[in-house]
Amino acid sequence: MTNPPTTTALITGGAGFIGSHLAERLLAQGCRVVAVDDLSTGNEANVAHLPRDRFTLVRSAVVDAMDELRAKQFDEIYHLAAGVGVDLVLERPLEVIEGSLRNAVALLEAARTWGRGGRVCPILMASSSEVYGKSARVPFREDDDVVYGPTTMTRWSYAYAKGMDEFVALSYHARHQLPVVLARFFNTVGPRQSGSWGMVLPRFVRAALRGEPLRIFGEGTQQRCFCDVRDVVSVLPALLRNPACRGGVFNVGSSHLLSIRQLAETVIQVLGSTSRLELVPYDRAYGPGFEDVAVRQPDLTRLETATGFEPTITIMQTIRDLAASMESVGANRASASASPAGPGGV
């Protein structure tokens, strides 16, 4: 009797925050994983610990690696690569908008023939709660109307871009019966997350560890739902592998609301920090006319019904683990700089 072939998964953005955790999850299930990442916001260190016999990192932009990837034949594709973070969107909107659509079309087209023997390959695409825009109807349900600000406000470009990706993916499903699933991630947090492009929890944790002020944009009354990345990635394979989910859009996250001020206070308390809170007006943080969303909360009925999903990791645990991951990166850097540099060292 022959063993069933091992599942081979492609993760675009696989050296990023969510992608690297998904790689760990799939490897733990016995899969082989190929990650493609241009390391624009991702980091090779995120995947340095993964077993080289079953994990491969292709260091490239998605569209430049198509020939190399085509030859590998996949059982499933997780498309997570994107320009992520408010700061990045405000700084480089063209790359975010154009790159998002170009990558989506390239991968959807590829998925039609990248399965074993040239067959179709199921694909999960990462979308975002930003797609709901500033809708005031909470909790957000997948079929709700969306409400955006004007196109003169760059911050909405990410929402439009992710929405266009969804339109294209659903059109591939309708026209070509492509097995595609759309996952609208809400605030995803956890170890290895970087604050470089404006993500709130890593910024708070880093400031608390250094005893610096935790800078809250606006009044801190805006509410969000934070879900640990390890919970988020646990449900993605189940979503993609369930034929009933294909052609569907799913909110993915936690529905537990927390104001940004509460989040900051929790970080200080959990880490026993001496930091204080500092309120920063939006126009000082992001420039004039920045619009924030007051409450962002998913309705998870569809996801729970399809997969039985239930988040298990508390925000306190996430804060502790994120702090530990930052401290270990700091410790590694310190020991690297303390060690002798090159052949002249002792």
Ligand X SMILES: NC(=O)c1ccc[n+]([C@@H]2O[C@H](COP(=O)([O-])OP(=O)(O)OC[C@H]3O[C@@H](n4cnc5c(N)ncnc54)[C@H](O)[C@@H]3O)[C@@H](O)[C@H]2O)c1
Please list the active-site residues: 158
Q: Which is nearer to ligand X, 103 or 234 (CB)?
A: 103
Minimum separation from the CB atom of position 339 to ligand X (A): 27
Minimum separation from the CB atom of position 4 to ligand X (A): 30
Q: Which is nearer to ligand X, 18 or 31 (CB)?
A: 18
Minimum separation from the CB atom of position 166 to ligand X (A): 12
Minimum separation from the CB atom of position 192 to ligand X (A): 8
Fill in the amino acid letter for 295. V
Q: Which is nearer to ligand X, 99 or 133 (CB)?
A: 99
| Residue 52 CB contacts under 8 Å (≥ 6 apart), including other chains | none
Q: Which is nearer to ligand X, 204 or 273 (CB)?
A: 204
> From CA 263, how far away is CA 307, in angstroms rounded?
28
CB 86 within 8 A of CB 286: yes
Q: Which is nearer to ligand X, 42 or 298 (CB)?
A: 42
Dihedral angle over CA of 182, 187, 193, 194, nearest 10: 110
Q: Which residues contact ligand X (rule: CB under 6 A)?
A: 12-13, 15-19, 36-42, 61-62, 80-84, 99, 103, 126, 128, 185, 187-188
H helix count then E strand count, the chain: 11, 13
Minimum separation from the CB atom of position 125 to ligand X (A): 8
Structure tokens that stand for 171 in this block: 């059109």
Structure tokens that stand for 237 in this block: 């394979």
| Residue 197 CB contacts under 8 Å (≥ 6 apart), including other chains | 41, 84, 85, 86, 87, 88
> From CA 289, how far away is CA 306, in angstroms rounded?
40
The sign of the CA dihedral 56, 59, 62, 68 is: negative
DSSP classification of residue 268:
H
